[in-house]
Amino acid sequence: MQKVTTIPYSIQWNESHITILNQQELPLKTEFLELHTLEDVFDSIVTLKVRGAPAIGITAAFGVALAANALEDEFFPSFAAKVKEAITYLASSRPTAVNLFWALNRMESALSGSTTVNEAKTDLVHEALKIYLEDEETCRQIGEYGLSLFKPGSRVMTICNAGGIATARYGTALAPFHLSIEKNIHLKVFACETRPVLQGSRLTAWELMEAGVDVTLITDSMAAHTIRTKGVNAIIVGADRIAANGDTANKIGTFGLAVLAKHFGIPFYVAAPSSTFDLTLDSGDHIPIEERNAEEITHVGGIRVAPEDVAVFNPAFDVTPNELITAIITEKGIIYPDYKENIGKYIAH
Ligand SMILES: CSC[C@H]1O[C@H](OP(=O)(O)O)[C@H](O)[C@@H]1O
pLDDT by residue, tens only, the chain of 349 residues: 333 344 457 999 998 999 999 999 999 999 999 999 999 999 999 999 999 999 999 999 999 999 999 999 999 999 999 999 999 999 999 999 999 999 999 999 999 999 999 999 999 999 999 999 999 999 999 999 999 999 999 999 999 999 999 999 999 999 999 999 999 999 999 999 999 999 999 999 999 999 999 999 999 999 999 999 999 999 999 999 999 999 999 999 999 999 999 999 999 999 999 999 999 999 999 999 999 999 999 999 999 999 999 999 999 999 999 999 999 999 999 999 999 999 999 998 6
102 CA to middle of ligand 1, Å? 16
Taking the C-alpha atoms of residue 347 and residue 272, their distance in angstroms, rounded to an integer, is 11
> Which atom of ligand 1 is nearest the CA belonging to 249?
13
From the CA of 48, give the closest atom in ligand 1.
11
Cα separation of 121 and 114, whole Å? Answer: 9
Contacts of 140 (CB under 8 A, 6+ apart): 169, 170, 175, 179
Burial annotation 38-57 (CB, 10 A radius, 16+ → b, else e)? bebbbebbeebbbbbbbbbb
Contact 19, 58 (CB under 8 A): no
Is 199 one of the annotated binding-site residues? yes
Q: What is the pLDDT of residue 5?
A: 41
> What superfamily would CATH give domain 146-348?
Translation initiation factor eif-2b; domain 2 (3.40.50.10470)
251 marked ligand binding residue: yes
Our answer on whether the CB atom of 167 is closer than 6 Å to any ligand 1 atom is yes
Q: Which residues, including other chains, have CB under 8 Å from residue 269's CB and lie 6 or more apart?
A: 146, 149, 173, 234, 235, 236, 237, 325, 326, 327, 328, 329
For ligand 1, is residue 251 a contact (CB within 6 Å)? yes
Integer Cα distance of 161 and 30 in angstroms: 16
SS (H, E, C) 49-75: CCCCHHHHHHHHHHHHHHHHHHCCCCC
How far apart are the C-alpha atoms of 94 and 106, rounded to whole Å? Answer: 18
Q: Is the CB of 57 under 6 A from ligand 1?
A: no
Q: Which of 123, 135, 240, 318 is catalytic?
A: 240
Query: Which of 269, 206, 267 is CA-nearest to residue 233?
Result: 267
Where along the chain do the CATH 3.40.50.10470 domains lie?
Answer: 146-348
For 56, 218, 226, 348, the CA distances from 300, given in Å and listed in that order, are: 24, 17, 24, 42
pTM of the model as a whole: 0.96
Looking at the CA of residue 51, tell me the nearest atom of ligand 1.
Answer: 11
- Residue 73 among the catalytic residues: no
Q: Is the CB of 51 under 6 A from ligand 1?
A: yes
**Residue 212 C-alpha to ligand 1 middle, in angstroms?**
22
> Which residues of the chain form CATH 1.20.120.420?
11-139
Stated as kind and residue range, the H or E segment containing 214 is strand 214-218
Between β-strands 234-237 and 333-335, what pairing exists: parallel, antiparallel or unpaired? unpaired
3-state secondary structure of 334: strand
E-strand spans in 219-349? 234-237, 241-243, 248-251, 268-271, 277-278, 299-300, 303-304, 317-320, 327-330, 333-335
The class of domain 11-139 in CATH terms is mainly alpha
54 lines ligand 1 (CB under 6 A): yes
> Tell me, what's the pLDDT at 1?
31
CA of 252 to the centre of ligand 1 (A): 10
Outline where the chain has alpha helix (H): 38-46, 53-70, 76-91, 98-112, 117-147, 175-182, 199, 205-211, 223-230, 254-264, 295-298, 339-346
Angle at the Cα of 7 from the Cα atoms of 222 and 206, rounded to 5 degrees:
30
Tell me, using a 6 A CB cutoff, whether residue 53 lines ligand 1: yes
Residues 6 or more apart in contact with residue 2 via CB below 8 angstroms: 181, 184, 212
Cβ partners under 8 Å of residue 116, min gap 6: 76
